[in-house]
Amino acid sequence: MGMKRKYWKGIEELKQTPQFLESRDQEFPAQTSVEEFLSDENLQETSTARRDFLKFLGFSVAAATVAACEAPVTKVIPYVNKPENVTPGLATWYASTYYDGSSYASIVVKTREGRPIFIKGNKDYGFTQGATNPQIIASVLGLYDSARLTGPTVKGEAENYAKLDSKIKDALGAANKVVLVSNTIISPTMGEAINELSLSLGGVRDELGSVSNDKFSHIQYDAVSYSGMRAANKESFGTTVISADPNSDGIIPDYDFSKAKTIVSVGADFLNSWLLPTQFTPQYSMRRDPDGEWMSKHYQFESVLSITGSNADVRGMIKPSEEANVLAYLLKKFNVSTGVSTKLSKATKASADSAYKALKSTKSESLVVCGSNNKAVQILANKLNSVLGAYGKTINTNAPINLFKSEDSHMGKFVKSVVAGNGPDAVIFYDVNPVYTLPNGAEFGEKLKKVKTTISLASYADETASNCMYVCPDHHGLEAWADMNPKRGHYSIAQPTIRPLHNTASAMESFLVWAGKEKRGGKDSKVAYDFIQNIWNIWGFSEQTTYSDFETYWSMMVHNSCVDEEIPAPTDQVFNDATLNNLGELPKSELTEFILYQKAGVGSGKHANIPWLQELPDPITKVTWDNYITMNPVEMEGKYATTFDQEHGLNQATIKVGKSELTLPVYPLPGQTPGTVGVALGYGRGANGENIGKAAFQTQEYGGHVILEDGNPAPIGGNAFAFVGEENGTPSYSGACSVTKAEGVYPIAATQLNQTVMGRHSIVRETTLNAYKTKDKEAYNPSWTLQKLDEHGNHVEAPMKEFDLWDEHPVENIGHRWGMTIDLSSCIGCGSCLVACQSENNVPVVGKTEVRRGREMHWLRIDRYFASDEEAAIGQRKDKATFSYDEAEKPMENPQVIHMPMMCHHCNHAPCETVCPVAATTHSNEGLNMMTYNRCIGTRYCANNCPYKVRRFNWFNYPSYKAQAEVNPAQDDLGRMVLNPDVTVRTRGVMEKCSFCVQRIQEGKLEAKKDGRPVQDGDYASACADSCPTNAITVGDWNDTESTVRKNADDKRAYQVLEDVGVKPNVWFHVKVRNEQNDILDKLQVVKEAHHGAAEEHGAGGHEENSHH
Amino acid sequence: MFRKFRRWCLPALVLLFVSGTFKSQAQGDALFNTKCATCHQIFKDGTGPKLFNVRQKWSEGGAIEGTIFQWVNNWKTAAASDPYAQNVSTWSGTAMDIFPDLSQEQITSIFDWIDLQEPVEAEAAKSDGSSSSEEDSSSGWIWIILGSIFIVIILSVGGVRRQLKATEAEEAGVDFNENMSYMDELKQWAWVNRRYVGVGMLVIVIGLVVVVFLGLYTVGIVEDYHPSQPIDFPHSVHAGTNGIDCKYCHNSVTKSRTAGLPTVNVCMNCHKQVAGSSPEQQEKIKKIYEAAGWDPSVGAGKYTNETKEIVWNKVHVLPDHVYFNHSQHVVVGGIDCKQCHGDMTKTVETARVQPISELNKVEGNIPLTRPTLTMGWCIECHQEKEVSGGSLDTKKDGYYDEIHKRLMDNDKSLYSKYLEDGKVTVKELGGWECAKCHY
C-alpha separations of B12 from B126, B150, B218, B272 in Å: 19, 17, 15, 48
Task: Please give, rounded to a whole number of angstroms, the shortest distance from the CA of A928 to a CA of chain B.
Answer: 8
The DSSP line for B107-169 is HHHHHHHHHH--HHHHHHHHTSSTTHHHHHHHHHHHHHHHHHHHHHHHHHHHHHHHHHHHHHH
Residue B26 pLDDT: 66
Task: Please give, rounded to a whole number of angstroms, the shortest distance from the CA of A69 to a CA of chain B.
Answer: 6
In angstroms, the first-to-last Cα distance of chain A is 28
Q: Do B260 and A88 lie within an 8 Å CB cutoff?
A: yes
Burial class (CB in 10 A: 0-12, 13-18, 19+), B149: exposed
Q: Provide the 3-class DSSP secondary structure of residue A33.
A: coil
| CA separation for the pair A182, A983 (Å, rounded) | 40
Closest residue to B219, CB basis, from A68, A930, A933: A68
Nearest to B386 by CA among B431, B351, B322, B340: B431
Contacts with A1012 from chain B: Cβ below 8 Å: 397-399
Q: H or E segment at A867?
A: strand A861-868
Contacts with A924 from chain B: Cβ below 8 Å: 430, 433-436
Q: Do B307 and A69 lie within an 8 Å CB cutoff?
A: no
| CA separation for the pair A127, A135 (Å, rounded) | 18
Residue B16 pLDDT: 36
Residue B268 pLDDT: 87
Contacts with A82 from chain B: Cβ below 8 Å: 263, 265
**Residues A622-655 pLDDT 10s:** 999 999 999 988 888 888 887 777 778 889 999 9
C-alpha separations of A209 from A186, A242, A533 in Å: 17, 18, 19
Instruction: Return all residues near A172 (Cβ < 8 A) that are at least 6 apart.
Output: A178, A201, A426, A453, A514
Output A759 or B71, whichever has higher pLDDT.
Answer: B71
Residue A11 pLDDT: 66
| CA separation for the pair A894, A906 (Å, rounded) | 35
Q: Do A922 and B410 lie within an 8 Å CB cutoff?
A: no
Contacts with A935 from chain B: Cβ below 8 Å: 434
Total beta-carbon pairs less than 8 A apart between chain A and chain B: 173
Which has the minimum average pLDDT: A679-683, B76-80, B198-202? B76-80
Nearest to A1 by CA among A952, A873, A1035: A873
Q: Record the pTM.
A: 0.82
Instruction: Return all residues near A980 (Cβ < 8 A) that are at least 6 apart.
Output: A112, A117, A118, A839, A840, A841, A842, A999
Across the 1109 residues of chain A, what is the mean pLDDT of every consecutive 10-residue run? 58 66 58 51 54 66 59 82 83 92 93 92 91 93 92 90 91 90 92 91 82 88 91 77 57 91 94 93 92 92 93 92 92 88 88 93 92 91 91 88 89 91 90 92 90 92 91 93 90 92 92 91 90 90 88 92 86 85 86 93 92 93 92 85 79 92 91 92 90 91 88 91 90 92 90 54 84 89 85 85 82 89 93 94 92 91 78 46 49 78 92 93 91 92 92 91 87 90 91 93 90 89 93 93 92 90 91 85 72 40 36
Amino acid at B44: K
How many whole angstroms from its chain centre is CA A753? 21
Q: Provide the 3-class DSSP secondary structure of residue A491.
A: strand
Residue A297 pLDDT: 93
Contacts with A904 from chain B: Cβ below 8 Å: none
* Side-chain-side CA neighbours of residue A192 (13 Å): 17
Q: H or E segment at A620?
A: none
ipTM computed for the complex: 0.82
Confidence of residue B132 (pLDDT cuts 50, 70, 90): very low
pLDDT at B6 over 60: no
Sign for the CA dihedral angle at A473, A475, A477, A478 comes to: positive
Residue A245 pLDDT: 54
Interface membership of B411 toward A (CB under 8 Å):
yes
Q: Do B410 and A814 lie within an 8 Å CB cutoff?
A: yes
Interface membership of B10 toward A (CB under 8 Å):
no
Closest residue to B438, CB basis, from A90, A814, A932: A932
How many whole angstroms from its chain centre is CA A957? 28
Nearest to A378 by CA among A570, A102, A584: A584
Closest residue to B332, CB basis, from A75, A999, A1006: A1006
Nearest to A148 by CA among A498, A561, A446, A625: A498
Q: Do B310 and A77 lie within an 8 Å CB cutoff?
A: yes
Q: At what angle do helices A323-333 and A375-388 cross, to 10 degrees?
A: 30
| CA separation for the pair A261, A256 (Å, rounded) | 11
Q: Do A924 and B430 lie within an 8 Å CB cutoff?
A: yes
How many whole angstroms from its chain centre is CA A656? 28
Radius of gyration of the CA atoms of chain A, in A: 30
B 95-124: CB under 8 A from A = none
Q: What are phi and psi of A750, to 5 degrees?
A: -110, 150
**∠A1006-B378-B394 over CA atoms, to 5°?**
50
How many whole angstroms from its chain centre is CA A191? 30
Do A374 and A225 form a contact (C-beta atoms < 8 A)? no
Closest residue to A810, CB basis, from B262, B323, B411: B411
Instruction: Return all residues near A640 (Cβ < 8 A) that are at least 6 apart.
Output: A631, A650, A651, A653, A666, A668, A741
Instruction: Return all residues near A193 (Cβ < 8 A) that are at least 6 apart.
Output: A508, A511, A512, A515, A531
A 981-1020: CB under 8 A from B = 982-985, 995, 998-999, 1002, 1005-1006, 1008-1015
Closest residue to B321, CB basis, from A68, A75, A984: A984
Interface membership of B307 toward A (CB under 8 Å):
yes
Strand A593-597 and strand A562-564: the pairing is unpaired
Residue A913 pLDDT: 92
How many whole angstroms from its chain centre is CA A390? 29
Confidence of residue B24 (pLDDT cuts 50, 70, 90): very low
Instruction: Return all residues near A353 (Cβ < 8 A) that are at least 6 apart.
Output: A333
Task: Please give, rounded to a whole number of angstroms, the shortest distance from the CA of A935 to a CA of chain B.
Answer: 10
Residue A498 pLDDT: 92
**∠B138-B142-B146 over CA atoms, to 5°?**
165
| CA separation for the pair B352, B224 (Å, rounded) | 6
Maximum alpha-carbon separation in chain B: 104
Closest residue to B317, CB basis, from A74, A78, A934: A74
Q: How would you write A231-288 as a 3-class SS string?
A: HHHHHHHHHHCCCCCCCCCCCEEEECHHHCCEEEEECCCCCCCCCCHHHHHHHHHHCC
**Cβ atoms within 10 Å of B363's Cβ, excluding its own:** 6
Q: Do A78 and B310 lie within an 8 Å CB cutoff?
A: yes
Interface membership of B312 toward A (CB under 8 Å):
yes
Amino acid at A190: M
Residue of A nearest to B397 (CA): A1012
Residue A54 pLDDT: 67
How many whole angstroms from its chain centre is CA B23? 18
Nearest to B220 by CA among A921, A918, A934, A930: A934
Q: Which of B434, B436, B438 to mutate to test the interface with A (most CBs of A within 10 A)?
A: B434
B 15-74: CB under 8 A from A = none
| CA separation for the pair A643, A627 (Å, rounded) | 17
| CA separation for the pair B92, B69 (Å, rounded) | 20
Can you count the helices (H) and strands (E) in chain B? Answer: 21, 3
Residue of A nearest to B222 (CA): A71
Amino acid at B100: P
| CA separation for the pair A358, A1009 (Å, rounded) | 53
pLDDT average, residue stretch B10-28: 44
**Cβ atoms within 10 Å of A64's Cβ, excluding its own:** 9
pLDDT at B23 over 80: no
**Residues A385-416 pLDDT 10s:** 999 999 988 998 888 888 998 888 889 999 99
The DSSP line for A930-978 is EE-TTT-----HHHHH-TT---EE--S-TTT-GGGTTT-GGGSTTGGGG
Residue of B nearest to A983 (CA): B439
Q: Provide the 3-class DSSP secondary structure of residue A494.
A: strand
Interface membership of B261 toward A (CB under 8 Å):
yes
pLDDT at B25 over 60: no
Strand A366-370 and strand A795-799: the pairing is unpaired
| CA separation for the pair A63, A61 (Å, rounded) | 5
The DSSP line for A559-588 is HHSEEEPPPPPP------GGGGGG--PPPP
Interface membership of B313 toward A (CB under 8 Å):
yes
pLDDT average, residue stretch B412-427: 85
Q: Do A932 and B434 lie within an 8 Å CB cutoff?
A: yes
3-state helix, strand, coil in chain A (%, to 5): 30, 20, 50
Interface membership of A648 toward B (CB under 8 Å):
no
Contacts with A111 from chain B: Cβ below 8 Å: none
Residue B422 pLDDT: 79
| CA separation for the pair A167, A173 (Å, rounded) | 10
Q: What are phi and psi of A14, to 5 degrees?
A: -60, -40
A 59-118: CB under 8 A from B = 68-82, 87-90
**Residues A745-763 pLDDT 10s:** 999 998 876 444 545 567 8
Q: Do B314 and A76 lie within an 8 Å CB cutoff?
A: yes
